[in-house]
Structure 1
């Protein structure tokens, strides 16, 4: 079983939980996911199965689209609604100020990864240190927010437990879609918007609508995967690994070129014909992998970037 399975991750499961579940369903041990989703989040989680796991490095680089709910007036230690309330403030900004502030985050920005994340520093995951009450220095990363589409702003009341007592807070909520680069933490974006507005904020809901070319429209629930597995029809829903590279043009090799290519020999190519860097490489329409065209000594060559045979 080789290919990509677009799964709809439910709330309450970690991304690794989904992989564990899929291993039991499919009997395939080689499974990886293309981008972690928080346990409370739902949405698109593309899984690479079998030799498709070789493509994970290329899938993780893809852009993402999320629908998020931002709750203004409360900041938490996890930057989402699963955490402990750190501060609460009255929300004294109007809708126009909220819109202007949110849109100021569009573009290339610096983002500090949250302590509650799976990033490793010194061999330890940040969330492990955070659970021990530690906060350590992190380096801000450059990420890009391509677009934010504001959907709705409204007043609301939420209940949080503080020191064992349930307390009600008056807040403002904002629903928006965000198109962003890899490595973007929507929790942190919500937190930073709240800080800039001076009232604090956290992410109260998140759906990943798209990851690369995989979206909600063709995502399978775990229940659907179970049913398809039981009816022996799951493989028909696996997407071929070459779909990851559909943005690139293709090169078909003849018998002589194929022998050399498979043995790591650089193939001389005409630059006038092959003007791009990466190509899908085929043998009689059988996908071999991703090839790279490069220049050396005024001559252009094709070499293998990644085999998928």
Structure 2
């Protein structure tokens, strides 16, 4: 069984699980997961995790994601994108300065209520299952961070915009623009969405499903797996000895003084040329613990 990460540029119309199902058929491997679900209408970076790397989902060190979003103002739908049923339309004009001013209120730390058409579970039920039954329930808000929100293009006649967003884990981009449209009084719905970076990986490193099929036909698909350590390559490296590695792998927190007193933070922990996992040092913690994948 092969282990590692395959970066796929997800095509439009596929669910993230559709991509996994395709890869299972190509690779003849059952144990494949993914990091960061994408809606069917969205395209872009989908890290697919093979074998033991599937455990990475719980400890990816880079959780921020970057998107290019097409947004149509003057309309609101039940799904918060143009695939849904229209709930509201407005012919009110919207100038670029007005839009730029509204964006200012949605940068930094904000509260967001997950959309009904989402995989969030409330009371043991998926919101999208309830939404398909025509039900809407109260959802608790969550705190998210919009690190960057940049207006790249805007046409005042069509009221269509292209924006770049970098946001924290758990953010819903379509809800972000739905809320911006509500604040403007015009409504807004997502027309397109492309994830250009996720889990520290850029879309330029991805291959398409067609390319994955070609590599499969040539018997070379698994050669393109990245080692799991690639997900941690931007973290500071902490090297340990064999005894320390044994202790960490058995769930023992190592004394910081014996590790050279590393500062609080996250570390890629290595034993010589073997990647062990993610080491975390909490403020005022007596020792370091290891998260293994």
TM over 0.5: yes
Structure 1 pair 231/133, CA: closer, same or farther in 2 (3 Å)? same
**Equivalent residue, structure 1, for 2:287:** 301
State the number of aligned residues. Answer: 291
Q: Which moved more, 1:124-133 or 1:54-63?
A: 54-63
2:93–2:156 contact (8 Å) kept in structure 1: no
Segments of structure 2 that go 5 or more residues without pairing to the other structure are none
Helix, strand or coil: the match of 2:118? coil
Residue pair 1:252, 1:285 contacting (<8 A) in 2 also = no
Q: 1:243 aligns with which of 230, 245, 253?
A: 230
Aligned to 2:131: 130
| Structure 2 CA distance for partners of 1:263 and 1:106, relative to 1, 3 Å | closer
Could you say if the C-alpha distance between residues 224 and 194 of structure 1 is closer, same or farther in structure 2, counting changes exceeding 3 Å?
A: same
CA-CA distance at 1:61 after TM superposition: 6.0
- What is the CA-CA distance between 1:87 and the residue it aligns to? 1.0
The equivalences for 1:239-278 within 5 A come to 239-270=226-257, 272-278=260-266
- 1:229 lines up with 2:230 in the alignment: no
Q: Normalized against structure 1, the TM-score is what? A: 0.87
* CA displacement at 1:144 relative to structure 2: 0.8
Partner of 1:145: 146
Rg larger in structure: 1
Q: Which residue of 2 aligns with 1:280?
A: 268
Aligned residue in 1 for 2:102: 101
RMSD: 2.1
Distance 2:186 2:270 in 1: 56
In the alignment, what sits opposite 1:160? none
Structure 1's 289 and 84: CA in aligned 2 closer, same or farther, altered over 3 A? same
- Give the alignment of 1:34-113 within 5 angstroms: 34-59=35-60, 62-113=63-114
CA shift in 2, pair 1:279/1:59, >3 Å: closer
Paired with 1:49 and 1:257, the residues of 2 have a C-alpha distance of 28
Contact conserved, 2:59 with 2:278, CA < 8 A, in 1? no
Q: In the alignment, which residue of structure 2 is the partner of 1:32? A: 33
Pairwise CA distance, 1:60: 8.3
